[in-house]
Structure 1
Amino acid sequence: MDTFFTTQHASLTALRREIHQHPELGFEEFQTAQRVKSLLTQLDIPFVDNIGQTGIVATVTGNLPDNGRRIGLRADMDALPLQEKNQHAYSSQVDGCMHACGHDGHTTILVGVAQYLAKHRDFAGTIYLIFQPAEEGRGGGDQMVKDGLFTRFPMDEIYGLHNWPYLAAGKIAVLDGPAMAAGDRLSISIRGLGGHGGATPHLTIDPLRISADLITTLHTIIGREIAPLDQAVLSLCAIQSGDMNAFNVIPDTAEIIGTVRTFKPEIQDQMEAAIKRICAGVAATYGAEISVDYERIIPATINTPACAQFVRDTIEAHFEPGTLDTDTPPTFGGEDFSFMLNEVPGAYIFLGSARHDDDEPLHSPHFDFNDAVIPTGAKLLTMTALNALKR
């Protein structure tokens, strides 16, 4: 298997860079999906498209007598609305859009798995290759599930990976339980009463002053209402109010946007309740109107412990000693693979991709997937699927 992926490394790298040049946003991955479908057709692997809009599910059936086992492998295809600042020969050719999270690499890795399985069908059972759209906040995983992913393609387990530039290239980490956080969107609207900032400020209900009090008070939730061992993050990331050219005009309204990240549903409930309670209290204090729109976008990514241990066993059995990393903590980033793990047991794997200690982080305009880890990722998913079929 190592020899196979080493041989395919150059062509897979070329594919990754081709996809990188032509990034597409969520539910708009028409060219990427067409490229994947063309490759699957060449490999004589049947597939069904338009699942969750632009998603694809390919089916690889082993040549040995069917044992009834069904395993899913998933990769995401979408890019981000970000202007690339790299100067590579293969940099994005689409203004304001780039692969800044490595989904071009994930797609390529799963194509590599397809190439191997097409030539090595000496296994029993079925492996589904899932090319998912719209992971970046647009709910592609949820859409695939709602479109019958697991009813049309029943699976015993499902696995996915994410390149991890915070971990040395070639290292692999698999966590028990929470791997990535639930991602909630918080929108707060404040309606006060505007007026003259010099002559009659006492007649106003100042939404900026209310915003300042509200921001400070909301940030006490983590330190004083959430138990120290129950992790949570509250980030208020933007505020809009007034006109920068109207230096003496107190506005009527203000808007605050932010995010809440948690690992446990009960802490998620506690955060939402506390935010709404504080907003109601501040509104009463100042005589303003404050409305809260709390949207639960993606659930936490929770690995099935038995599946996580199975992947760790696979790594220790089929990779060089020291490949398995046991120090990587859960991350407060979000991942809508969680919708799939809510339906089927499985695990989400971190594939180390750091070239140096100062690699660009995910979602940076300077980020670029490390092509050196393509063979490792392809072997990892392939071995995981083949071994899972035997369980």
Structure 2
Amino acid sequence: MAVLPIISESKEELTAIFKDLHAHPEIGFTEARTAQVVAEKLREYGVDEVHTGIAKTGVVGLIKGKGGGERRIGLRADMDALPIHEESNLPYASKNEGVMHACGHDSHTTMLLGAAKHLAKTRDFDGTAVLIFQPAEEGLGGARGMLAEGLFDKFPCDEVFGMHNWPNGEPGKVGICKGTAMAGASFFDIKIKGRGSHAAMPQQSRDPLVIAAMLVAQIQTIVSRNVAPLDSCVFSVTQSNAGSAYNVVPDTATLAGTIRYFKDEVCELAETRLRDLCDGMARAYGVEIEVDLRNIFDVLMNDSDLSDAYLEAAADIVGAENVSDKAEPATGSEDFADMLKVVPGSYCRLGHGGTVPLHNPGFMLDPEILPVGASIMARVVERRMPVGGA
């Protein structure tokens, strides 16, 4: 690994920052402590401008290169954690009950801070590096919040790059899927308003639990019987709630879940069929069914040329043999997609030694990857904005 010298020398500091952030995770839009750590470190490193309070807890730093220049490259990291009880048994495990950095956003924040330290000290580029520390990536709309508050109006970028740790047991492997790279996502909530009764006299009820069970089964036919076989769609019911006693048929039942897709028209089809099924069930059983559908993530589209540029920068750090543009599309979602709809760019996956899946209570990120990710982020700025414009 050809980790950049300043970042290599800062390995212990970066590891300490990472462990501190991991021990103090915060849910989206409440990352006050994390934002304070970020802002203090940016100022300590000599970043030219530090702006806080964007979309509540977002932070943006600006570093001007020694060559002047008008080009501006954005680097983005997310900061929020998940509502998961940690079971990693790490000595720096979460101190906040029921909240955990189970997706490694603490590492992304740390990597971008490492890149900031290098760029602020060397300034070996011609333009401005825009460092974007985003809140609330985990389905709460942090990217859209920053955009709504004028992120790219106040801090224009010609290109923007993001990164995510990948617990594949292959440290230092960098992969990019060009074009359609990650799924878009809608979340849904369904409320079935039936009629309750004594459980011994169910004929007096309009049982919402029975309707909910049939609706779950019918929902599975949307993909198998409505979506074209060569199109991809995932339809998952992830929550089902009803009842409070053994001897009572409840009045209401609720379902919730998510739709993942790679084409907007597939999402529109799936959403339409979901509404149709609910309307049909409501008429058939004489109940009321409310459907709330919300688009949460756009489809993430990686620019082909900028993906190549990102991999070239990564190859400087990890070696050409460790980068690939053949990564498979992921059915997971990422709200960096919203930024890529406004500014072209690319999003890569950085492998590390951990193998426990993301969003798992036992997830553990390999801290050895921190200097690697930081170096790749810094290097893409230097490559895309070389001094003298070479």
Asked if TM exceeds 0.5, the reply is yes
**What amino acid is aligned across from residue 237 of structure 1 in structure 2?**
T
**What amino acid is aligned across from residue 150 of structure 2 in structure 1?**
G
**What amino acid is aligned across from residue 53 of structure 1 in structure 2?**
K
Aligned residues of 2:85 and 2:97 also touching (Cα < 8 A): yes
- The change in CA–CA distance for 1:326 and 1:304 in structure 2 (over 3 A counts) is closer
Confirm whether residue 325 of structure 1 aligns to residue 327 of structure 2: no
Q: CA deviation at 1:271?
A: 0.8
Pairing of 1:187-336 with structure 2 (within 5 A)? 187-199=189-201, 201-246=202-247, 249-316=248-315, 318-336=317-335
Q: CA deviation at 1:326?
A: 4.4
Match of 2:151 in 1: 149
> What is the CA–CA distance in structure 2 between the aligned matches of 1:181 and 1:287, rounded to whole Å?
36
Alpha-carbon deviations, 1:211-257, whole Å to 9, x = none?
Answer: 122111110010111011211111111111222432xx322221111
> What is the CA–CA distance in structure 2 between the aligned matches of 1:213 and 1:176, rounded to whole Å?
40
- The change in CA–CA distance for 1:318 and 1:15 in structure 2 (over 3 A counts) is closer
> What is the CA–CA distance in structure 2 between the aligned matches of 1:25 and 1:212, rounded to whole Å?
32
Q: CA deviation at 1:132?
A: 0.9
Report the secondary structure of 1:351's partner residue.
strand
> What is the CA–CA distance in structure 2 between the aligned matches of 1:370 and 1:281, rounded to whole Å?
50
Report the secondary structure of 1:17's partner residue.
helix
Pick from 356, 379, 386: which aligns with 2:375? 379
> What is the CA–CA distance in structure 1 between the aligned matches of 2:162 and 2:146, rounded to whole Å?
15
Pairing of 1:1-391 with structure 2 (within 5 A)? 2-45=4-47, 46-66=49-69, 68-166=70-168, 168-199=170-201, 201-246=202-247, 249-316=248-315, 318-355=317-354, 359-390=355-386
Report the secondary structure of 2:120's partner residue.
helix
* Segment of structure 1 superposing worse, 234-243 or 1-10: 1-10
> What is the CA–CA distance in structure 2 between the aligned matches of 1:222 and 1:216, rounded to whole Å?
12
> What is the CA–CA distance in structure 2 between the aligned matches of 1:387 and 1:31, rounded to whole Å?
33
CA-based RMSD: 1.7
> What is the CA–CA distance in structure 1 between the aligned matches of 2:318 and 2:79, rounded to whole Å?
27
Alpha-carbon deviations, 1:164-206, whole Å to 9, x = none?
Answer: 113611101111122221121111111222223434x334322
Q: CA deviation at 1:37?
A: 1.3
Q: CA deviation at 1:305?
A: 2.1
Relative to the length of structure 1, the TM-score reads 0.94
> What is the CA–CA distance in structure 2 between the aligned matches of 1:288 and 1:94, rounded to whole Å?
42
* Segment of structure 1 superposing worse, 151-160 or 132-141: 132-141
> What is the CA–CA distance in structure 2 between the aligned matches of 1:387 and 1:303, rounded to whole Å?
18
> What is the CA–CA distance in structure 1 between the aligned matches of 2:196 and 2:45, rounded to whole Å?
66
* Structure 2 gaps, min length 5: none
**What amino acid is aligned across from residue 34 of structure 1 in structure 2?**
Q
* Segment of structure 1 superposing worse, 34-43 or 304-313: 304-313
Aligned residues of 2:124 and 2:382 also touching (Cα < 8 A): no
Q: CA deviation at 1:47?
A: 1.1
> What is the CA–CA distance in structure 2 between the aligned matches of 1:11 and 1:173, rounded to whole Å?
27
> What is the CA–CA distance in structure 2 between the aligned matches of 1:335 and 1:118, rounded to whole Å?
28
Report the secondary structure of 1:49's partner residue.
strand
Say how many residue pairs are matched.
384
Report the secondary structure of 1:322's partner residue.
helix
- The change in CA–CA distance for 1:185 and 1:94 in structure 2 (over 3 A counts) is same
**What amino acid is aligned across from residue 388 of structure 1 in structure 2?**
R
Q: CA deviation at 1:87?
A: 2.3
**What amino acid is aligned across from residue 208 of structure 1 in structure 2?**
L
Q: CA deviation at 1:354?
A: 3.3
Report the secondary structure of 1:294's partner residue.
strand
Report the secondary structure of 1:187's partner residue.
strand
Alpha-carbon deviations, 1:233-285, whole Å to 9, x = none?
Answer: 11111111222432xx3222211111111121111111111100111112222
* Segment of structure 1 superposing worse, 103-112 or 76-85: 76-85
Q: CA deviation at 1:327?
A: 4.6
Q: CA deviation at 1:8?
A: 1.6
> What is the CA–CA distance in structure 2 between the aligned matches of 1:13 and 1:215, rounded to whole Å?
45
Q: CA deviation at 1:90?
A: 1.4
Calculate percent identity across the aligned residue pairs.
40
